[in-house]
Every structure is written in C-alpha cells, then in structure tokens.
Amino acid sequence: LTGTSREQRAFQYLLAHAIPGDPHHILQTFDQWCYHCEHLSCVGPDKGRIVERVLLEQAPLRVLELGTYCGYGTVLLAQGLPPGARLYTIEGDPRHAAVAEKVIRLAGFSEQTVELIVGPSEEVIPRLREKHGLMNANLVFMDHWKRCYLRDLRLLESHQLLAEGATILADNVLFPGAPHFLQYAKTCGKYHCKVHRASLEY
C-alpha cells in the first residue's frame, strides 16, 4: 500500500532506531523489526551465533558472501573480521543491493572493508580475481538461491578461488534444502562436512 518494499521499510526503521556506526545495534534493530513488524529472510540471531563462532575460530582474511539481500549477513560477517580483512558480497537483485549498500555504510563499513558487487553469481564469480582482486577466499558464506549452491561451489573450485583449508558455510541446506549441494559436499572427497542444527530465522 505504501509503494515501498519490505526491505525499504526495514531500512527506514533502521534509520529511525539504530545507532549509526554500531554494527551490533544495527543487527539488534533488524531483529526487532523482523520479530515484531515484518518477516525478512535474514540470517537472524540464532544462526548468526554459528557464523560468529566460525569467524572467531577461523579469523579469515578474505571472505566471500553469496546473497547479500538486505545486508544483515554482511554486517554480521564484517563485524567479526580480523584487522586488515576484506569481505566481498554478491547480490543479484539491484533493488536489494541498493538497500544493502545503505545498511552496510550505516553500520560504518567502508568500501575498503566491504565490497558489494551487483550481478548474477554465475557471472561475477569468474571475474572475481581479474576484476575485483580476490585471489582466493578463506571463508565462503552461501545464503542465496539454494539451487545455485552446487553450481557456484563448482565455479569457485574451477576458478581456484578457494584457499587451502577454506570453509564453506551454507545456510538452509535442509529446509528449503539444497540436496544436490549436500550430496556433492559429502561424497566428492574434498570436504569434511558438519551440519549445524538451527531453527528457522525469527
């Protein structure tokens, strides 16, 4: 009725209630909106704790996120980066990317720390090294279309964009599910697999 999207309404709420430059408060305010106003398919606080734990354990210097959406996961990842690390995030929908860009900058992250790349992942991934300077990623967070998980993992492999010992963290592989990705990860012999049990966001 308002002519604005749910994502834009969430950003307006952030502008009114969140503390600029405080990533933790940005995420808390996002959570308040999603719990009490409108549901957004963000990572959310429960699964967010898994992401935070992985970041703390791995301290990755080069992180790739597939599926920026509103920027919730991007802010979550960026606030856990060690000094000097860089995050590359890819979003295929220009409207979502426009909201995410504002969220990321509101949280206080510069383009030197977080680079948002707009375009389909299958087109962006092959250009990451040449165009964006990503030699390889220590951590990849997949939270885009589940049907693209396997295709994009294979693209990362074929373009040698995974650092030795890299971690792939993939959301929602059981529901709504990414069965082909899961089967490949478990049977190809390249990965040690662990499933983290979590509730749906919000």
Which CATH entry fits the domain spanning 6-188: 3.40.50.300, 1.10.1660.10, 1.10.730.10, 3.40.50.150?
3.40.50.150
Q: Where are the alpha helices (DSSP H) in 39-167?
A: 44-58, 72-79, 94-106, 121-124, 128-132, 149-158
Q: Give the mean pLDDT of 1-27.
A: 94
Q: Give the mean pLDDT of 118-140.
A: 98
172 included as an active-site residue: yes
31 included as an active-site residue: no
pTM of the model: 0.96
Q: Is the pLDDT of residue 92 over 70?
A: yes
- Candidate list 31, 91, 101, 201, residue with the active-site label: 201
58 contacts 43 by C-beta, under 8 angstroms: no
Q: From CA 69, how far away is CA 89, in angstroms rounded? A: 10
Q: From CA 47, how far away is CA 197, in angstroms rounded? A: 9
Q: Is the pLDDT of residue 201 over 90?
A: no
- Candidate list 91, 101, 152, 172, residue with the active-site label: 172
State the pLDDT at residue 100.
Answer: 98
Give Cα separations from 90 to 75, 148, 183, 192 (angstroms): 14, 13, 24, 25
Per domain, the residue ranges of the chain are 6-188
| Tokens describing residue 49 | 């704790």
146 included as an active-site residue: yes
Q: What's at 155, amino acid-wise?
A: L
pLDDT per residue as tens digits for the range 74-85 = 999 999 999 999
- Candidate list 31, 101, 146, 152, residue with the active-site label: 146
201 included as an active-site residue: yes
143 included as an active-site residue: yes
Q: Give the mean pLDDT of 148-161.
A: 98
pLDDT per residue as tens digits for the range 29-68 = 999 999 999 999 999 999 999 999 999 999 999 999 999 9
Q: Is the pLDDT of residue 2 over 80?
A: no
Q: Give the mean pLDDT of 15-36.
A: 97
| Number of other residues whose CB lies within 10 A of the CB of residue 12 | 12
Share of the chain above pLDDT 70, in %: 99
